Structure 1
Amino acid sequence: MTIKKLISTASAAALGLTLATTASAQDKIEIGAAVYGLNAEFMQLWADAAENHPAVQSGLVDLTVFDGRYDALVQQDQFETMITQGFDAIVFVPIDIDAGATAVELASEAGIPVVGSNTQVNSDLLTAYVGSDDVQAGYMEAKSVLDEMNCEGDVVIIEGPIGQSAQIQRGEGNEKALSECPDVEVLEQQTANWSRAEAQSLMENWLTSHGSDIKGVIAQNDEMALGAIEAIKAAGMDVNDFAIAGVDGVTDALRAVKAGEMASILQDGAAQAQGAIDVAIKAVKPDYEPMSEIWEQYPEMSWEDGSKSQYDVPWTPVTSDNVDALLEQRQ
C-alpha cells in the first residue's frame, strides 16, 4: 500500500470516528437540573440521585446540575444559560414560587420542556411536577408535636425561606393542625431559611425570651429542628422536655429520632429527582419508557405513559421500626 493510500485510509478512519463521536453526542439528551441550593444534605441527596439515574449512568442523558445558591436571580441566569446552550429539557427546583415563573416562561418560549420537582412554581407552563404534598407534611409534623404535648402548652414555628412553596404549604399544614388545638399559642414564628445554624440562633434567642414556656418546636425541615436541639442542649436544658419535629429524614435527623430527641417525616428526594428525570426524558423522546426503579417502589404513583401533570411521591413517617433500615441506606 502506498503512503498516499495509507494517509487516505487513516484520514477516512479519523473522519469516521469523528462522525460517530458527533452522532453519539447528538444522540445524548441534554438535561439541566436547576436546584435552589446545594448547601444542605437534602438537596445533595436529591442531586446525587439525579446523577445516578440509570439513563444518566448509561449515557442516554447528559445531566448538568446547577446550584442556584438560594437566589431566584441566579436561577434565572442559569435558565438563560441552558436556553443559549440548547438544552433539551430542564428539571426545576425553585427557591421562589412566584419569581421562578419568569424562568419557566423563558424556557417555554425557547421550546424547552420544564419539569418541576420538590418545590413548586406558579406557572401553568410546566410539563409536569414530581414532588410531595407539603401541606400534608406540615400537618403531619405539627400534629406529632401537638399530640406529644396533649394539646397543652405553647410552641414556636421555624419556617423555611419565605416565598418558597414548601414554606407556604407546610405553613398551611401547620395551621391546620394548630386549629385542632385552640388552647396552644404560637409564641414565635420566623424563618431560618432551611439552615441549622440560623435555627440554632433563633432558638437561642427564643429560649432567652420564653425559657421553659416553650413546649413544642415545629420546624419546617429537619436541619432547623436539629439547630433547635443544639440550642436547647447549649442552654443546659433537657431536649426531652420539648416536643420537636421536622421534615425530610436527613441522616442526622434519623439519628436524633433513634435517640428519641425528635420526630421526622422522610421526604424521598431520590424518587422526586429520578421521577422528574424520567418525565423530562419522555417529553423529549416520546417512545421512552421509564428506567428508574421508583415506579415499582411506589406503585400508587402510576407512570401512565408519562402523561400526568403531577406525580405525588408519598411521605414516610420515621419510626423506631424503620429508622435503622433508613440509616443503613445512607451508608
Structure 2
Amino acid sequence: MTRLLSLSSALAMAAGMAAAQDAEPLRIGAAVYGLNAEFMQIWSAALEQHPSVQDGSVEVTVFDGRYDALVQQDQFETMITEGYDAIIFVPIDIEAGAAAVQAAADAGIPVIGSNTRVNSDLLTAYVGSNDVESGRMEAEYVLGQIGCEEGGNVVILEGPIGQSAQIQRLEGNQEALAACPNVTVLEQQTANWSRAEAQTLMENWLTTHGDTIDGVIGQNDEMALGAIEAIKGAGLNVSDFAIAGIDGITDALNAVKAGEMQSILQDANAQAQGALDLAIFHASGMPEGWEPQSEIWAQYPDMPWNDGADKEYNVPWTPVTAENVDALLATRQ
C-alpha cells in the first residue's frame, strides 16, 4: 500500500510539473515614457533579467512611449486589445496618463506604476522613489558648495513639464532654495531630460550671464552632463561651478569620479524588478503565500514586501560618493 501511495504521489507531482511547463506564460507589458536615454534603458533591461522572465514563466514586452502621452495611450489600447495580463506604467505626463489607467482598469487589467507617477486612484500599486527628496538633496549639495549665507547664482534644468519627476524634484529644489534667500535663480527651464537640449540652454545662459553662474541644478544626470559640456565648450573650468544631477547613469558616475559633479543614484533595477514582481502577483490573482522572485527585496530591507499588500513601495536613494563610485561603476561592466 505504501509503495502504491508513493507511486501515486510521484505521478501526481510529475503531472503537476508537466502542466506547469505547458502553461502559457503571463504576458506583461511595460509602457515607458521613452528609451532614448540610459536610465530607462537600464530600467528596461532589468525586466529581462528578472528570474521569472529568465525561466520563461513570464513574457515582457517593452513599449517605447517616445515621450508622447498620446503614443502611450495608443500602446495601452494595443495591450488591452491583445489581452495582456498586467501592465507596468512609466508615464510621461502625470495627468494625461490617468485615461490610460482608466481604460486598463475597465478591462480588468492591473496597472503597476513605476519610476514616474500618474494621478489615478485606479493604479494597483507603485514602485519608485521619492522625487521631492532627491530634488532637495541635489539642491542642498549645490547650495552647500556655493555657500548658502554668502549667496550666489544658480540655474535649474528641469525635466519635461507635467511629468511627476519634474514637478516633485522642482518642489524639492525649491524647499532647499527657500532656506537660502541670498541665492538667486537666474534661469529655470526644461531641457526634457536631454543632454543635447541642456547643453544648448547652458550655452545660451553662459552667453547671457557669463561667469556669474555659480551652480547648476540638473533634475537628471543627462542634463547636468549637458551643462558640463557647455562649460567646457566655453573654455571655462568645470571646477568653478557646483553641479548636481540625479540617476547615477554611467557617464555621471565617471564625472563624479573626476570631481566634476554630484549625482544621486536612482535604482532602476529595483524599481523595474519590484514593479514586475507586483505585476506577476496581481496578474496571478494574488495567491496566498506567493513570494517575490527578485533579490531586490533582500537588498532593501527597509522596503519590505508585506505580502504584496502595500499600495506604494519607495526605493531609497543612494548618494554617489568617492567611496562607492567604483563599486557602482563595476555594476555597469
Q: CA deviation at 1:51?
A: 1.2
1:294 match? 296
Q: How does 1:117-128 map to 2 (within 5 A)?
A: 117-128=114-125
1:240 match? 239
Match of 2:117, as an amino acid?
Q
Q: Secondary structure at the match of 2:132?
A: helix
Q: How does 1:123-202 map to 2 (within 5 A)?
A: 123-151=120-148, 152-202=151-201
2:9 match? none
Q: Secondary structure at the match of 2:189?
A: strand
Question: Are 2:32 and 1:30 equivalent residues in the alignment?
Answer: no
1:45 match? 42
2:61 match? 64
2:14 match? none
CA distance in 2, matches of 1:312, 1:23: 33
Q: How does 1:41-120 map to 2 (within 5 A)?
A: 41-120=38-117
Question: Are 2:274 and 1:275 equivalent residues in the alignment?
Answer: yes
Deviation string, structure 1 residues 248-299 (Cα, Å, up to 9, x no partner): 0000000000000000000001100000000111102222310000000000
Q: Secondary structure at the match of 2:226?
A: helix
Q: CA RMSD in A?
A: 1.4
CA distance in 2, matches of 1:295, 1:311: 10
Match of 2:125, as an amino acid?
A
Match of 2:315, as an amino acid?
V
CA distance in 2, matches of 1:25, 1:112: 23
Q: CA deviation at 1:115?
A: 0.2
Residue number among 300, 312, 315 corresponding to 2:314 in the alignment:
312
Match of 2:95, as an amino acid?
D
CA distance in 1, matches of 2:61, 2:24: 16
Percent identity between matched residues is: 71
Q: Secondary structure at the match of 2:93?
A: coil
- Pair 21,87 (structure 1): closer, same or farther in 2 beyond 3 Å: farther
The number of aligned residues is 312
- TM-score when normalising by structure 2: 0.92
Q: Secondary structure at the match of 1:327?
A: helix
Q: Quick check: 72-81 or 284-293, which moved more?
A: 284-293
Q: Secondary structure at the match of 1:63?
A: strand
CA distance in 2, matches of 1:200, 1:223: 10
Deviation string, structure 1 residues 115-162 (Cα, Å, up to 9, x no partner): 000000000000100000000000000000000011221000000000
CA distance in 2, matches of 1:199, 1:74: 24
1:9 match? none
Deviation string, structure 1 residues 210-249 (Cα, Å, up to 9, x no partner): 0111000000000000000000000000000000000000
Q: Quick check: 317-326 or 146-155, which moved more?
A: 146-155
Deviation string, structure 1 residues 164-209 (Cα, Å, up to 9, x no partner): 0000000000000000100101000000000000000000000000
1:5 match? none
Match of 2:304, as an amino acid?
S
Match of 1:85, as an amino acid?
E
Q: Secondary structure at the match of 2:180?
A: coil
Q: Secondary structure at the match of 1:64?
A: strand
Q: Secondary structure at the match of 1:121?
A: coil
- Pair 21,227 (structure 1): closer, same or farther in 2 beyond 3 Å: farther
Match of 1:66, as an amino acid?
F
